[in-house]
Structure 1
Amino acid sequence: MEITTRAVQQEIAGRTLSIETGKLAGQAGGAVTVRYGDTMMLGTATASKPRPGIDFFPLSVEFEERLYAAGRIPGSFFRREGRPTTAAVLSARLTDRPIRPLFPKGYNDDTQLIITIFAVDMENPPDTLGTIAASAALCVSDIPFDGPVASVRIGHVDGELVLQPTFAQLEESDLNLVVAGTRDAITMVEADAGEVPEALLVEALALGQEAITTICEMQEALAAEVEPVKRAFTPESVDAEILTDVEARAGDDLRSALREAEDKADRDQRRAAVKATLLESLGDEADAEAYTEAFDAMEKQIVRRGILDDGVRADGRSLTEVRALSAEVDLVPRTHGSGLFQRGETQVLSFTTLAGSGMAQRLDDLTPEDSKRFMHHYNFPPFSTGETGRVGNPSRRSIGHGMLGERAMAAILPAFDEFPYTIRIVSEVLASNGSTSMASVCAGVLSMMDAGVPIKTPIAGIAMGLIKEDDEVAILTDIVGMEDHLGDMDFKVAGSRDGVTALQMDMKVKGIDLEILSRALEQARDARLQIMDVMTECIAAPREQMSPHAPRILRLDVPQDKIGQLIGPGGRNIRALQDDTGAEISVEDDGAVFITAVDQASGQAAFDRVSAMTRDIEPGQIYTGKVVRILPFGAFVEMVPGKDALVHISELADYRVDKVEDIVSVGDEMQIIVIEVDNLGRVNASRKALLNGDSDSGSREPREPRERRSRDDRPPRREAREGREPREAREPREPRQRRPRVAREPEAVEPEPAVEPAPSAEFEAPVVDEQPEPAEEPVVAQADAPTETEADGSAAVAPPREGAPRRRRRRRRRNTGQQGSVGNGQPGQDNQRDGAPRSDSAPAGGEHEERQPDSNIAPRRRGGILSRVNIRRGQPETDGPPPPPPPPPSPFGAPHRNHAAYSAPRRRSLPPPANPVV
C-alpha cells in the first residue's frame, strides 16, 4: 500500500517546528507527528460511534510518557511505565482545557486524544507541543472540531520576554507562562511567576498570541492538503415553544428561590422544589426530558441576565464584592503548623509538615528536575459538597488544583541555604462552594506562618468569573459554584501586594481578548489585598519559634575531600551515625552536611560526631570512642570510624597497670585525649591525662629549658656521705693479667691412595675421554681429641689417642660434567665405598698411588663450620663418637641412597655377581 505523507514546517523562536501526517498510525481517526528541535511525539485522535442517551461530552486526553524517549529504563520493579506521573497528568490537563470548549455543543461521542512521547532533547519542554499535536490530529480526522488551537510558553529572562524558553532558560526566568488559543482569541492560561506585575503578564499574553496565530495557520494548511471528511452532526437546541412554556410556568418562582436562598443547600432545595412542581403540572403526556433541558436553560438565562442587566448576582452580591472572610491558626495539636481559611461557604484546613532534605520528592519523568523539596497536596472529599462518592487515589482535578497552589506558594519560600527543610502542605477541603483551590493557597500560607517558615511575604488567591453575551461583558469577583457552572470563564489569580505568583484561566467559550484579561487582573488585585488584610490580622508574620514537635536541622560544612570518609564504604559510616544518634544526615556534593533530629540532644550528638570525623586530628583534642582491640602493650580505641588511636598501657591510668584487661575490655567506651600524631598519621592518645585533669596536655606550650646548676652546687658524693676516702685519694689498682690464647695447630691429613677395582669380565666400563680435574685445595683436618688446659690456663691441643680409629673425612666429590668421571676424574675409578677403614697401604692386587690434595676444596675451620661430609648430609660436625660405617654396596654395584657419593652421576664397572642369574 502506498503511503502518502504530507508535512508543514515553520521556524518558531529560532527552531524548526514540523507537523507531518500519513506515515504513522494509519488506523487512527487522525494522526500527526510533531517535532521541535529533537523533541518528537505522536498525536492521535479517535472517536467511537454515537451512543444515544449521553448528555455530556466524554472526552479523554492521555499524555503517555515513555522513558526510552530520554534513553532511560524505568526504575520500578517491573521496569516498565505504570500509572501516569504527576507531570503527565498536568500535561494532559494542559491539552484538555484549551481543546474542550472548541467541540460543537451537543457533540457527545466518545473521543480520545493520545499523545505519545517518542524523544525528548532535555531542552524543549514537551507539554506545549502536546496541545499542538492533539489539535493537528483533530484537524486531519473526521471528528467535528472548531479548531485549530495552539499552545506556546513565554519566559522572562534578564528583563526580556522569551518565546519558547528552554529548560535552562526557565531556571533563570521569573515567569513561566503557558498560553493557548485560536487565531483570534485566548482559550487557556497557566502561569507561575515571582511576583511579576500585571502589566508584564498582559505583554506576555500578547507575544504568545502572535506565535499561536502562526502555528494555527500551519495546521490549517496541513488540513487543507489532507481534506478530511467530517462526521455528520446536527447540533441540538432547546425547543423555543417549550422554553416559553417553562418561563411562564416557573420563571418567577425560580427567581425568588435563587434570591431568597440563604446558602447553597437552601438554594438547591428551593430549586429542586420549583422543578418538581413544574414537572407535576405538565402531566404524563409531556416530554419530561425536553422540559428538564428547558428548565436548565431558563435558570442559566435568569442568572446571566440578572448580572448583565441589573448588576446583581444570584446571592445578592455586587460584581466586585467578596464573601465573608475568616482566618485562624494553631487549631490542631502536635502538628508543625495549621491554618483554617473560610470564604463564604468554602472552608479549607491546611497542615504544614517539616522534614529534612532527605525527604525531598524524587522525580522520574521527562524533565531535567530530579527532586523537589516543596509539595502541596489537595484533597477534595465528597462530603465537602454534601454528596457521596469515591475515596482513594487523587483525581486529575485534585492533582491539578494542588499543583496550582504549589506554584503560587513556591515563589515566597525561603532559599534552601536559609531554611534547609523539606516542606509539605496538605489542604483538606471541608466545604466547597467555589474556588477551593485559591482557598487552599490562603490556608496553606497561614499554616506555614504558624509553623515558623520564614516566607518572604504573605500571598492570597481569588477566583474571577466572566459573563459574556455578544458585546456585553461582566467580570465577577469571588465566584461561587453556580456562577462557575453557568458562567463563561474561571480565572484564578494568586499573588502578593506587589505582584502575581500564579495564574490559571479556563474558558467555556471560544476565547476572550486581551482587554478583558487585563480588566480581570486589575479587579483580582483589589480582592487579593482585601483577603491579605484579614490574614495578617490573624498572624502578621511567621512565628520566630517552630513547633516543639518539628525537627531541628543543624548545618555543618566539611571539606570535600572528607566526604568519602564521612560516608564510608557503601555508606557504612553514615548509617552507623544515624543508627547511634537517631538523627538523619544528608550530605551535599559541595560538602554541606545537614543533620535533622527530632530533639536537640540527638542533633547535637550527631553534630559533634560529624565534626570529629571530618576535622584534622591534632594533639589536645578529646574524643570518646570504643575499644576495638587489646594488645599486651596497650589498647586501640576507635576515635572516629576508620581511625584508631593507641593508648599505651602506661597511659591507661595514673598508677601502674599490669594488664590492659584490668582497665578496659573490647567494646568499652573510653574518653581519650590526643597526645601525638606522627608523620605517618598514627595517633597516640592518653586516658591518664584526663584522669589527672590535664586535658590540655596535648596542646601545651613547650617548656622553657631548665637552668643547669654548676658543679659546685652539687651535693657530696656517696663516699663523703658514707665517710669513705675520696676516689682521688685512693691508690690505683694493679692491672689484671689476662691469660694469652694459644692457637691450635691443625692436624695434617695424609693423602689417600686411589684404589682401582679389578675389571669385570661381563661388565665393561665404557671408554670415556679423560678430562683433567682442577687442582684441589689442601684439606686441613680439625683435631678430634678434646683439649687439655695448661698450667697457665691456656688451651693446648691434645695428641691423638693411641689405637683409636681415626675419623675419616670424606672429600667432597666433584662432578666434572663427564659420565664415568669419578673422584679424581679418572674413568672407572671410585674411592673406597665399602665402608671399611682406610689404610695407608693399597689393597691386594692394587698399586699404592699417592694422591694430591684437591685445591678446589676450601680448608675447614674450627668454630661451627660444617665438614665436607656433614655439609653434604646437612648435619653439623660434632665432637662425639664417630659415625657408623656406610651400608654395604649392592650386588650390582649401585650406590646406596645414603652413600656420600649418591648424587655424583657416573658410570662404573661392577664385579660379576657371585651367583649369576641366567
Structure 2
Amino acid sequence: MTQTQEFGLDLAGRRLSMEVGRTARLAQGAVTVRYGDTIVLVTACASKQARPGQDFFPLTVDAEERMYAAGKIPGSFFKREGRPGTDAVLMARMTDRPIRPLFPKGFYNEVQVIETIISVDHVNQPDILGIVGASAALTISDIPFDDPIGACRIGYVDGQLVVNPTYEQLETSQLDLTVAGTGDAIMMVESGAREIPESVLVDALKLAQEVNGSIVEKIREMQRQVGKKKWEVTPNAALEAALSHARTFFGDRLKEALRLPGGKQARSDRMSELRTEMVTALKEEHGESALAEAFHELEGEAVRAAILNESRRPDGRTFDALRPLASEVSYLPRAHGSALFTRGETQVLSVVTLGSMGDHQKIDSLSPETEKFFMHHYNFPGFSTGEVRRAGTGRREIGHGALAERAIKPVLPDTETFPYTIRIVSDVLSSNGSSSMASVCGGILALMDAGVPIKSPVAGIAMGLVTGHGKNAVLTDIQGAEDHSGDMDFKVAGTVEGITALQMDIKVKGITYVTMKSALEQARKARLQILEHMRETIGQPRAELSKFAPRMLRIQIPVDKIGTVIGPGGKVIRGMIERYGVSIDVEDDGTVVVGSADGDSAEQAIAQIRAMTKEIEIGETYRGRVSRIMPFGAMVEILPGKDGLVHASQFSNDRNDNVEKFVKLGDELEVVVAEIDHLNRVNLALKNRPGRDGAPADGDADAGDSGGGEGGYERQRAPRGQYERRDRRDGGGRGDRGGDRGSRRPSYGGDRGGDRGGDRGGDRGGDRGGDRGGDRGGDRGGDRG
C-alpha cells in the first residue's frame, strides 16, 4: 500500500495542506489540497502516445463541483450534477491558462487534469486550491512538466493587502486579485477591483509572487520525496526538417505579405495563398501536418521579427497607438439601451435589457452567491472572423463574458438605488483582436443609453508583449496577428480613477512584475483616450429610462404584513398582478418592488398595497363601499380586504326599518372608525348619522355609535343613557353576519367563519341546543329556558 504523506505550509494564519498517497492511487499524479475545510482532489493523467498527425497540444482541464461538498442535493430534475456551471468553467480556465505554457515544446500527448471539489466551508475559495493541486499533481507525476507554480489571492481591505481573503473579507475588499506564478515570473493574473490605483496593484503582484515562491518550494520538496521519473520528450525531427525547408522556400515573402495594405483580410488571403503554395511544393518530402505546423511557426517569427527588429506592427502603428475608434448609441429602436462600438476591425453590438427584481438569475452552485442581478453575456459567432463554425456558448465565451461583467459591475448602482435586474448581451460582429474589451466599452455605452445611473464610465484595452533576443516590446491595442504570435495577452479595464478588471495570459515561461508595471502604465494612457472618445458619444446616462423599459416602484411594508400582501397560497398577490398587469417582488425584510410597462399601473398597485398594509385607527374617516347588506346592518369595505360594520341603528332610529331602504350594494359611504374590538373586528359609524328628528346627531363619530347590541360587534359598555336599551332576546339576526370575517378565529364559527356547533349552536352558526337554547338561535331550554 502506498504511504500517505502530507506537505503543508501556513498561509494567512491557515494551513495549506497537500496530501499524496491516500486517494486516486492509479492516476499518474494525484494530490488532495486542503485549506480550512475546503478540499479539492486534483488528478493528472496523460496518454502514452500522441495521436498520429497531432500538431497541437491537447490539454484538457475540468473542474467538477460535487454538491455534497456543501451538503446540498442538486436542484435539477434528475437530482444529480450535470454540465459544469459558470463557476466550474471559470475555475478550469484559471488552471489551464498558467500551466499550458509550461509543458515542453513538441509534447503532443493528450493530458487531462480533473479538479474535484469535495468539500467547501464558504470561507476559503476552491479555485486557488485547484491551481496549486494541478501544479503539484503534474510535478510529482511522470508527465513532462518541470516548472511548478503557486497561486494565491490578494485582497485590499481597510487599506491593507490581505493574502487569501475569505468570502466575508472579499465583500468589503477593494481588490480581488488571483496570481499564479513560479515565484520568479508571473504566469497568470485574474482580477476584479473597485477602481483601484495601478500602484496598489503592483504592490499586490509583488506580495503574490512572494507567497507563490513559498508554495513552489513546497511542491519541489514533494517532487524530491515522492516524484516519479519524467518521460523523455524527443525532438520532432520531421518538424525540424519541414521548418528548414519552408524557411528556404519562402525567403522574405512572409515579411512582404505582412506589409500589404488593406487590413486583416488582405494579409490573411495572401498568407493563405503562400501556405497552399508551400504545401503543394513540399508535401512529397514532408507530411502536411509537419508543413502546417512549420508555416504557423514561420508566420509567428515574421510578425515578431518585424516588431522587435523594425519596430513595425502589421498595420503600421507605433507600439502605443490605438486603432481608429467609432461608436454610436440608440442603434436599436426598441431596445432599452444599445450601442455599436468599433475599434479598427473589431466591432461589438451591446444591448441592455432591464427587468424586474424577479428576473434575477438563481445560482445553484457551491458558491455562497445564490442570485445575480447583473449579467453580461458575450457571443462570438463564426461570421465575426469570416469562418464557418458551430454556434453555441463555449468556455471562451463564458470566460470573456465574465471578464466584462467584472469590469462593469463596480460602477453599477445597487438594487436599493436602482431596483432592476440588468442584462447586457454583447454580440461580436467583427473580430480582429480585443473583442472582450470592446464589449466592456459597448456595454457601458449601452447602459448610459438605457439611463442606468452608473457611477463612472469604464473602458477596456488589450495589451500585448513580444520578447526575444534580449528585447521587449509592449504593444497597445493588439490585433489578431499580434495576439496569435505574441507572448502575452494583457487585458485591462477601468475608469479615470482606477482599474476595475484585469486578465493576463502568458505564452512564455512568465514575465516579471517590472514588465507588468510598464504594461499597466501604457494601458492607463490608452484607457483615458478611449474614455474621452466615449464621452464624446454620450457624456452621461440619460435622465429618463427608455419608454420601452419597465417602471419600478419600491415601498417598505411591516414584516408582519407580508402575509397580507401575498395572501393564502399567493391568491392576493396573484390577483394584483393579473388586475394591474405588473410584477411584484416581496423581500423578506418587507421591501416590495412593483414593476410595470407604464408607471400608472405600478402606482395603482402600490396604492393598493399601501392600503392593505395600513393600520386602521379609531377616529379615522374613510370613504368605503358597501360590500354586503344584512338585516342588522351593512358591511363597508374601507380598505382593500378590510371591512367594518355599520349597524342598522346608524341609518334609522326605527328598529323596524329595512337597511336596504337606505343603502344598496356598491354605494359609497363616509364612515368613521368607532371601535376595534379584541377580535380585531371593526365597528363603523356614519360620518353624518341622522338623529331622532332626521337631523345629524351630535357626537356622530363617538365609539358608541357603532350600533348597540342588536347585531353590532361586542364592545365596551357605553355610558348609561346614551343608547336605547333593547331586549337581548331580540338579537337572532346576528347569525347573518357571516362570511370571511370569521376566518381569523375558526373556533368562533357560524357565518362569521364556521359553525358554532355543539353546545353553542344557534343562528349564529348552529343551534344552541341543550342547556343554552333560546330565541337567539334555538330554544334556551333546560335551566335557562
**CA deviation string 1:299-353 (max 9, x = no partner):** 2111101101111101111111110101100011111100110001100001111
For residues 703-754 of structure 1, what are the alpha-carbon distances to aligned partners after superposition, in whole Å with 9 as ceiling and x for unaligned? 9xxxxxxxxxxxxxxxxxxxxxxxxxxxxxxxxxxxxxxxxxxxxxxxxxxx
The alignment yields a C-alpha RMSD, in angstroms, of: 2.8
Give the structure 1 partner of residue 726 of structure 2: none
CA distance in 2, matches of 1:285, 1:470: 32
Corresponding residue SS for 2:365: coil
Name the counterpart of 1:167: 167
Cα separation, 2, equivalents of 1:701 and 1:636:
18
Please give the alpha-carbon distance, in whole angstroms, between the structure 2 residues aligned to 1:636 and 1:271: 88
Contact 1:177 1:189 survives alignment (8 Å): yes
Q: Give TM-score, length-normalised by structure 1.
A: 0.72
1:321 matched to 2:309? The reply is: no
Paired position in structure 1 for 2:254: 254
Q: Residues 630-679 of structure 1: CA distance to partner in whole angstroms, max 9, x if unpaired?
A: 422234345556532224457789999845499545xx696764443434
Give the match for residue 205 of structure 1: 205
SS in 1 for 2:425: strand
Residues 1:577 and 1:511: Cα distance change in structure 2 (over 3 Å): same
Q: 8 Å contact 1:435–1:479 — kept in the other structure?
A: yes
Deviation at 1:240, TM superposition (A): 6.0
- Residue 472 of structure 1 corresponds to 471
Answer whether contact 2:630 2:659 (CA < 8 A) is retained: no
For residues 345 and 36 of structure 1, do their structure 2 counterparts lie closer, same or farther at Cα, with a shift above 3 Å needed?
A: same
**Structure 1 residue 34 displacement after superposition:** 0.9
Q: Distance in 2 between matches of 1:192 and 1:593?
A: 31
- Does structure 1 retain, via aligned residues, the 8 Å contact 2:611–2:640? no
Counterpart Cα distance in 2 of 1:95 and 1:591: 43
* Amino acid across the alignment from 2:123: E
CA distance in 2, matches of 1:93, 1:334: 36
Give the letter for the 1:585 counterpart. I
Percent of residue pairs bearing the same amino acid type: 52
**Alpha-carbon distance in structure 2 between the residues aligned to 1:501 and 1:331:** 27
Residue in 1 that maps onto 2:2: 3
Deviation per residue, 1:575-616 (Å, 9 max, x gap)? 332222222222233332211111112101111011111111
Per the alignment, residue 300 of structure 1 pairs with 300
8 A Cα contact 2:437 2:460, kept in partner:
yes
Indicate the SS of the match to 2:48. coil
- Residue 457 of structure 2 corresponds to which residue in structure 1? 458
Tell me which moved more, 612-621 or 244-253. 244-253
Higher helix share: 2
Deviations 1:380-430 (A, max 9, x none): 1111111111123x1111011000000000010112222121111111111
TM-score, length of structure 2 as denominator length: 0.84
Counterpart AA for 1:232? E
**1:152-191 alpha-carbon deviations (Å, 9 max, x no partner):** 0000000000001000100010100000011321100000
Separation in structure 2 between the aligned mates of residue 521 and residue 653 of structure 1, nearest angstrom: 87
Q: Write out aligned runs for 1:101-250 (5 A).
A: 101-236=101-236, 243-250=243-250
CA distance in 1, matches of 2:682, 2:122: 51
Change in CA separation of 1:652 and 1:528 when aligned onto 2, cut-off 3 Å: farther
Q: Is the 8 A contact 1:552 1:598 kept in 2?
A: yes
Distance 1:21-1:576 versus aligned 2 partners, 3 A rule: same
Asked if the contact 2:622/2:638 (under 8 Å) is kept, the reply is: no
CA contact (8 A) 1:452 1:543 kept: yes
> Are the structure 2 counterparts of residues 674 and 445 from structure 1 closer, same or farther at C-alpha, using a change threshold of 3 Å?
farther
Whether the 8 Å CA contact 1:495–1:528 is kept in 2: the answer is yes
CA 1:567–1:147: 2 relative to 1, 3 Å? same
Flag the 1:650–1:460 CA change in 2: closer, same or farther, 3 A: farther
Q: How many residues align?
A: 694
Residue in 2 that maps onto 1:551: 550
Measured in 2, the distance between the counterparts of 1:634 and 1:238 equals 104
Aligned partners of 2:667 and 2:6: how far apart in 1? Answer: 77
User: What amino acid sits opposite 1:254 in the alignment?
Assistant: L
Measure, in 2, the Cα distance between the counterparts of 1:152 and 1:181: 9
Residues 122 and 476 (structure 1 numbering): CA distance in 2 closer, same or farther, change over 3 Å? same
Find out whether 1:441 has 2:435 as its counterpart.
no
Matches within 5 A, 1:468-867: 468-618=467-617, 619-622=619-622, 627=627, 629-640=628-639, 643-648=642-647, 658=658, 660=660, 664=664, 673-680=671-678, 681-685=680-684
In structure 2, the CA distance between the partners of 1:403 and 1:639, relative to structure 1 (3 Å rule), is farther
Cα gap change, 1:676/1:112 in structure 2, threshold over 3 Å: closer, same or farther? same
Contact 1:574–1:585 at 8 Å: present in 2 too? Answer: yes
The whole-number CA distance in structure 2 between the counterparts of 1:368 and 1:685 is: 52
What amino acid is the match of 1:329? Answer: V
Counterpart position of 2:418: 419
- Post-superposition Cα deviations, 1:32-86, rounded to whole Å, max 9, x if no partner, equal 1111111112111111232221111111111111111111112222221111111
Q: Which amino acid aligns with 1:450?
A: D
CA distance in 1, matches of 2:571, 2:353: 29
How much has 1:486 moved relative to structure 2? Answer: 0.5
Aligned mates of 2:46, 2:186 — CA distance in 1: 26
* Corresponding residue number in structure 1 for 2:70: 70
SS of the equivalent of 1:137 reads: helix
Measured against aligned partners, the alpha-carbon deviations of 1:749-784 in whole angstroms (never above 9, x if no partner) come to xxxxxxxxxxxxxxxxxxxxxxxxxxxxxxxxxxxx
**Contact 1:261–1:270 (Cα < 8 Å) also in 2:** no
Distance 2:472 2:229 in 1: 37
Cα distance in 2, alignment partners of residues 65 and 81 from structure 1? 8
Q: What residue in structure 1 maps to residue 388 of structure 2?
A: 388
* DSSP-derived class of the 1:108 partner: coil
Distance in 2 between residues matched to 1:661 and 1:98, nearest whole Å: 88
How far is 1:289 from its partner?
A: 4.4
Counterpart CA distance in 2 for 1:328 and 1:338 is: 9
Supply the AA of the counterpart residue of 2:309: D
The answer for the alignment partner of 1:19 in structure 2 is 18
Pair member with larger Rg: 1
**Which amino acid is the alignment partner of residue 324 of structure 1?**
P
> Letter of the aligned partner of 1:678 in structure 2?
I
Deviations 1:783-825 (A, max 9, x none): xxxxxxxxxxxxxxxxxxxxxxxxxxxxxxxxxxxxxxxxxxx
Query: C-alpha distance in 2, partners of 1:87/1:267?
Result: 39
Partner residue in 2 for 1:93 = 93
In structure 1, C-alpha distance between the alignment counterparts of 2:196 and 2:267, rounded to whole Å? 39
Q: Distance between the aligned counterparts of 2:190 and 2:571, measured in 1?
A: 46
5+ long unaligned stretches in structure 2: 690-695, 703-780
**Shift of the alpha carbon at 1:282?**
4.5
Give the letter for the 1:495 counterpart: G
- Deviation per CA, 1:242-268: give whole Å up to 9, x if none: 545434432333222221131222111
Structure 1 pair 272–683 and aligned structure 2 pair: CA distance change class (3 A): same
Shift of 1:687: 8.2
Q: Aligned letter for 2:560? A: D
Q: Is the 8 A contact 1:651 1:688 kept in 2?
A: no
User: 1:275-298, CA deviations, whole angstroms, 9 ceiling, x for partnerless residues?
Assistant: 233344458456554444333322
Match of 1:357 in 2: 357
